[in-house]
Structure 1
Amino acid sequence: MEVTGGCEHYSRSCQLRAPCCGKFYTCRLCHDSKESHKMDRFNVTQVQCMECKCVQKAQQTCEQCHMVFGDYYCNICHLFDKDKKQYHCDGCGICRIGPKEEFEHCTKCNLCLPLSLRGNHKCIENVSRQDCPICLEDIHTSRVGARVLPCGHLLHSTCYEDMLKQGYRCPLCMRSALDMTRYWRQLDDEVAQTPMPSEYQNMTVEILCNDCSSRSTVPFHILGMKCESCSSYNTAQEGKTLTQTARE
């Protein structure tokens, strides 16, 4: 029999008996939203068929009416759902949406990443165990995909899109999350076309570059101060002191 029913989170034809309170819920997320405690899905041992109401051991097909509880079933996570090319990753300890052959587990980041990022991302140890800095919710077990920034930090993909509406920098380390080369060139032209008032034309300021971490002393300009090392304008003034340079 085909899978019927489920909840807003998963398509499945059974309910899980929560090992913590003995109540039946369609999934752990439904349980956690109703109860004052969280359900450990790994300790689930029993399910109830939505078709014939038979309570039985956790398995993919009902032992009484032969209803298929989920096109995909993991006997470790006790995840039932429609087929999304899922696979269980021993490194992550949970199921991921695949296809499996398109992903690889990074042991340092402790996260499955697309093969396109192999050798092309900055590793941060156990980065997926940190909460998303935008919404402050869990990333590792979230049903929302993660976005890897050039600095190595992670955001929920939806939070990443929200971040781009407000700015271009990682909220944790302030490094540029996009290739800003074209914008920096435009800013070069704007700075060249916008001379500072005479009392500021010989002022310099010490800056720290958020992109390359270099420090330099550069001409002060209201539109931005350019890093001498990497040409980024993603810089921060160190202190508030402006220095008057000698006139020729």
Structure 2
Amino acid sequence: MEIGSGNYGCSHYRRRCKIRAPCCNEISDCRHCHNEAKNSLETNPLDRHDIPRHEVTKVICSLCDTEQDVQQNCINCGVCMGKYYCAKCKFFDDDVSKNQYHCDECGICRTGGKENFYHCNKCGCCYSMLMKDAHRCVERAMHHNCPVCFEFLFDTMRDITVLPCGHTMHLECARQMEQHYRYSCPVCSKSICDMSQFWKKIDQEIAAIPMPQTYQNKMVWILCNDCGANSHVQFHIVANKCLSCNSYNTRQTRGGPATPCSSGMTEMVS
């Protein structure tokens, strides 16, 4: 069980075996190593592909180089090729501190401990038990690319956050958005945090900037990205306030040239 443990593997996994890709018959340390190599800019676009992870049938022991059918222990030297082993995913990992478990509904192995997660059938993914009966479901919410970096979310190795609107993205990408003063979901434009203090700042800014006489009676229709209400409001160059929920996360729909409220909002909160 312990011979060679932690001494073999790649940057993605510590394991004592390599895999033979059924798609191109090449040997790689893991599926991520294979996919990174086969989808690099140096690779001919016609040859780029991902490994079909569940179709792997052959592994190579890292200690004795024996190629064999997928199994946990080497048929030649007897070494354990991965302390965590999933026969369904053909997956090996010596770092069991991740508390890996296999989710039949997801069809893949996940980390964090089965007791700490549940599978949401509508969203089509495992979520923390802390979110059970509390999050807003969006059908197949994890089965798309991150709206910021465009990496596929369902099987990503990076942390995921679920926004109040139910859409998902990388936690790191969400933090980068906040650093650039972007506080709305890239998918549906709803606010991703409590913006009430920012709305008060915009109230003060609008009060300090009276509109010219020509525009003082100009009325426009706006759509609120947060509550979905339509409002007929007095136009202001800085932003237009929803009459239903007091949000400034709005867009002009009728009444003259539309104004990019989000850009004005960025200046206010920065």
Same fold (TM over 0.5): yes
Q: Is the 8 A contact 1:132 1:138 kept in 2?
A: yes
Partner of residue 246, structure 2: 231
- 2:25 is the alignment partner of 1:22: yes
2:150 matched residue in structure 1: 136
Letter in 1 for 2:23: C
User: Within 2, Cα distance between the matches of 1:74 and 1:119?
Assistant: 30
- 1:193 deviates by 2.9
Match of 1:44 in 2: 56
- Matched AA of 1:219: Q
CA contact (8 A) 1:3 1:67 kept: no
SS in 1 for 2:142: helix
Query: In the TM superposition, what whole-angstrom CA distance separates every residue of 1:109-163 from its partner, at most 9, and x where no partner exists?
Result: 0011111211222111112112222222211111122211111111122222222
Corresponding position: 1:56 with 2:68: yes
1:107 alignment counterpart? 121
> What does 1:150-165 correspond to in 2, within 5 Å?
150-165=164-179
**Amino acid paired to 2:72:** Q
Pairs aligned (count): 242
Cα gap change, 1:4/1:67 in structure 2, threshold over 3 Å: closer, same or farther? farther
Q: Which runs of 5+ in 1 are unaligned?
A: 243-248
CA distance in 1, matches of 2:78, 2:90: 18
The TM-score normalised by the length of structure 1 is: 0.91
Deviations 1:64-104 (A, max 9, x none): 32333223211111121211111111111111111221111
State the alpha-carbon separation in 2 of the partners of residues 238 and 7 from structure 1: 53
Equivalent residue for 1:245? none
Report SS of the residue matched to 2:178.
Answer: helix
How many Å apart are 1:211 and its aligned residue? Answer: 0.4
Alignment partners' CA distance in 1, 2:13 and 2:88: 17
Q: Which residue of 2 aligns with 1:208?
A: 223
1:220 is displaced (CA, Å) by: 1.6
Which stretch of structure 1 is more off in the superposition, 100-109 or 35-44? 35-44
Q: Distance in 2 between matches of 1:225 and 1:42?
A: 52
AA paired with 2:239? G
Q: Distance in 2 between matches of 1:62 and 1:9?
A: 21
Counterpart selection for 1:4 from 7, 14, 27: 7
Matched, 1:71 2:92: no
- Supply the distance in 1 between the matched residues of 2:245 and 2:194 (Cα, whole angstroms): 12
Cα offset, 1:50, TM superposition: 0.8
Q: Quick one: distance in 2 between partners of 1:194 and 1:161? A: 32
Kindly provide the amino acid, as one letter, of the partner of residue 23 in structure 1: E
Q: Deviations over 1:175-216 (max 9, x none)?
A: 111111121122222222332233322222211000001000
Question: Unmatched 5+ residue regions in structure 2?
Answer: 39-46, 258-270
Any idea what SS the aligned residue of 1:228 has?
coil
Contact 1:87 1:97 in 2 (8 A): yes
What TM-score do the two structures reach when normalised by structure 2? 0.84
Moved more, 207-216 or 42-51: 42-51
Once structures 1 and 2 are overlaid, which stretch shifts more, 180-189 or 10-19? Answer: 180-189
Indicate if the aligned counterparts of 2:160 and 2:171 stay in contact, CA closer than 8 A: yes
Q: Is the 8 A contact 1:3 1:71 kept in 2?
A: no
Contact (CA 8 Å) 1:122, 1:152: kept in 2 or not? yes
